[in-house]
Structure 1
Amino acid sequence: MEVLQPGTGPVASSTYLTADPGTTLWGRLPGVDDPTVLDLEDGAVLTIDTVSHEGLLPDQGSDPLAYFGAHGVGVEGVLRDAVVLARELTRDPELDGPHVVSRPIGVRGAEPGDLLRVTLLEALPRVPYGVVSNRHGRGALPGEFPQGPRDVSVFTPVDDAGLASMPLADGGPPAVRFPTDPFLGLVGVVPAQGGRLHSVPPGPHGGNIDIRLARVGASIILPVQVPGAGLYVGDPHFAQGDGEVALTALEASLRVTLRVEVLPRARALAEYGDRRVPFVETPEAFVPTGMDPDLDEAVRACVREAIDFLGARYGMAPHLALAYLSAAVDVRVSQVVDRVCGAHAVIPKVHLPDGEPATPRHLASAEVAS
């Protein structure tokens, strides 16, 4: 797998944003007082180099060359921008989050009340490895894991076929293999309130929503809160399970290409309803979300969002929408580790009036058997 150092390798768009101290923040989301690093026309496509925080953090030595070198990665296999960011950016480990986040990108014509649709067109791994970490007091099982006195970071190689591997025991040979499916865990717009928010908890502005369905071909739809929207991205993932239970997913740097579209208020209402929190759309499904520090409340919020969406787009009565959701729609846990928990509902498009009806599984099975 080719290592995509800054400015090398394929770049799909003529608009290319590298990750350097002038284009990124560490541990905070951009606020209303942050100037944009570039301004785009509605519908523009851009390519962004993102950098994972894993390998940069204090419990890993704050030295990517030394950290990844200890796992057998040569100097040319460590991203130069990661080395520079670890050396030149500052963060307060007690007050700031871990994520490297792009500074805001303006989108001309975006106004509060509109929606911003951000579609992931391409996600290229920049390195052939990633890291999964579990840190004390965090994750789904704080107090139980890590089982020793130290934080745990699992270095995870990825082969040319895109398969990640882990051993069954420390120091053992690769035994567990799983496919990668890259996406951005963190996509957001500048919130209306002043100041830079902590990078970990997601909210109405988006941010660290960690929904693994937001992979290539999918769109994240965000409610614009300030003129120009102020798009930012970060937290690149190679793979994640629903829940993200250790604390992190398989974190690793990506080169992503995005299409950014403004949906004016009237069109936004017709297509998605009055969305006040992030919404995901894949080629196969609509994915309303819910967020709250209490996971039960996050699920309830997600169900309400799904009911509202079905009513706004299809005119479905609320009691019938609830019945349909109960009979045919999966409500999944997005993540339980970001202070604010997330849930999302996966509504198959084939079920809906403008979709192609699906063949019932039992009939399809009968046809195969015959």
Structure 2
Amino acid sequence: MITPEIRGGHEVTRPVAVEGAEVGDAIAIRIRSLVVTSAATASGNDKVMEGRFNGDPFCAAVCPGCGTQWPATRIEGIGQTAVRCETCGADAAPFTSTHGYTIAFDDERSVGLTLGRAEAEKMAADAARLMALPDASIQNPILTFAPADLVAVATRLRPFLGQLGTTPGKAMPDSHNAGDFGSFLLNAPPHAYSLTEEELIANKTDGHLDVNTVREGAVLICPVKVPGGGIYLGDMHAFQGDGEIAGHTADVQARPLWKFTLSRD
């Protein structure tokens, strides 16, 4: 959400094909384990930054300085103005936070504790390493923002996948591959991902469920809308209640283990 180069709300994996999967089939995905690898993360209640997107801040970011669409960015310093356009240097994050927290995890990744300002800023200076971003990742780590409005709150971890499913039949932002979030695409000017209601219903696969039951032991039955299915995942959360009502939660990196089963009539 703070990486305008990404054309969706999240950075997701490259889709994996299941041999023999054809359009009309279903793929059962059993989550065997989810192991959190991030040592810390940050979250909060997000704020849309007007003038930094065309219609939809999740999938149509624009640099307010030079007008570049989906601009590449770099990190300069820490804090909510640290995401800068590579071309002109303007503050380019399409989202900031009105109230947020930084949380560190124990070595077993079983509990977390929110931090004060000094500790949050120290972690922000080493954000990519502490969040264990993959080598090929282009996301700007949210730890960089160093929020510290909610201090000394402890919580247990119960990791789950906000995104897990099959590739939709038509190109759409990963975050909008769902019935609820997908409604933002309905006849939506002026970006490239506008869909009719019929197109959304026919092509979505509901890969962006964002429910905390998509965790270890769960089984998802996913429709095949493209040859091979194209299973992908992302938007891993350390914990969440019954809904992502703040618009954002504790995003982390993790190692998943799963099993696929192909099903057809």
Same fold by TM-score greater than 0.5: yes
SS in 2 for 1:106: coil
Q: In 2 relative to 1, CA 150–223 (structure 1 residues): closer, same or farther, beyond 3 Å?
A: closer
Corresponding residue number in structure 2 for 1:198: 173
- Deviation of 1:105 (Å): 0.6
The residue matched to 1:226 in structure 2 has which SS? coil
The answer to whether the 8 Å contact 2:46/2:248 transfers is no
TM normalised by structure 2 equals: 0.55
Aligned to 1:186: 163
C-alpha distance in 1, partners of 2:220/2:177? 13
For 1:171 and 1:100, the matched residues in 2 are separated by: 26
**Which residue is 1:134 aligned to?**
45
Offset, 1:130:
2.1
Structure 2 residue matching 1:191: 3-state secondary structure: coil
- Deviation of 1:98 after TM superposition, in Å, equals 3.1
Q: Higher relative contact order by CA 8 Å / sep ≥ 6: 1 or 2?
A: 2
Q: CA deviation at 1:199?
A: 2.1
Q: CA 1:103/1:247 → structure 2, altered by over 3 Å: closer, same or farther?
A: same
On the 8 A contact 1:126/1:253 being kept in 2, the answer is yes
Q: Does the 8 A contact of 1:241 with 1:249 survive in 2?
A: no
* Counterpart position of 1:17: none
CA distance in 2, matches of 1:133, 1:106: 35
The correspondence of residues 286-305 of structure 1 with structure 2, limited to 5 A, is none
The corresponding residue for 1:357 is none
Q: How much does 1:184 deviate?
A: 1.1
Q: Distance in 2 between matches of 1:208 and 1:242?
A: 15
1:156 offset after TM fit, Å? 0.8
Deviation at 1:168, TM superposition (A): 9.6
**In structure 2, which of residues 92, 98, 101 is the aligned counterpart of residue 154 of structure 1?**
101
1:227 aligns with 2:227: yes
Shift of 1:244: 0.9
Once residues 245 and 112 of structure 2 are traced to their aligned partners in structure 1, the CA distance between those partners, rounded to angstroms, is: 18
Q: Distance in 1 between matches of 2:33 and 2:247?
A: 25
The alpha carbon displacement at 1:97 in A equals 2.0
Aligned to 1:254: 254
SS at match of 1:110: coil
Instruction: Give the aligned partner of residue 112 of structure 2.
Output: 164
Contact 1:132–1:155 at 8 Å: present in 2 too? yes
Task: Compare the two structures and name the one with the higher helix fraction.
Answer: 1
Q: TM-score, normalised by structure 1?
A: 0.40
Counterpart residue number, 1:115: 26
Question: In structure 2, what is the equivalent of residue 311 of structure 1?
Answer: none
* CA separation of 1:159 and 1:227: change in aligned 2, threshold 3 A: same
Aligned ranges 1:23-62 → 2 under 5 Å: 57=2
Change (3 A) 1:261 1:202: same
Please give the alpha-carbon distance, in whole angstroms, between the structure 2 residues aligned to 1:214 and 1:235. Answer: 12
Residue type of the alignment partner of 1:201: H
Q: C-alpha offsets along residues 207-230 of structure 1, whole Å, 9 cap, x if unaligned?
A: 221111111011111111122101
SS at 1:200's partner residue? helix
In percent, how many aligned pairs have the same letter?
27
Q: Say whether the 8 Å CA contact 1:240–1:250 is kept in structure 2.
A: yes
One-letter amino acid of the counterpart of residue 166, structure 1: T
Task: Give, as a single letter, the amino acid of the residue that structure 1 aligns with 2:229.
Answer: A
Structure 1 runs of 4+ off > 6 angstroms? none
Q: Deviations over 1:219-249 (max 9, x none)?
A: 1111111221011111111111112111112
Q: How far does the alpha carbon of each residue in 1:236-272 deviate from its partner, in whole angstroms, 9 at most, with x for none?
A: 111111121111121111111111111112xxxxxxx
Change (3 A) 1:173 1:225: closer
Q: Which amino acid aligns with 1:183?
A: F
Aligned to 2:236: 236
Q: How many residues align?
A: 163
Give the Cα–Cα distance (whole angstroms) in 2 for the partners of residues 188 and 172 of structure 1: 33
Residue 172 (structure 1) shift? 7.6
Structure 1 residues without counterparts, runs of 5 or longer:
1-52, 59-89, 139-148, 266-370
| Displacement after TM superposition at 1:202 (Å) | 3.1
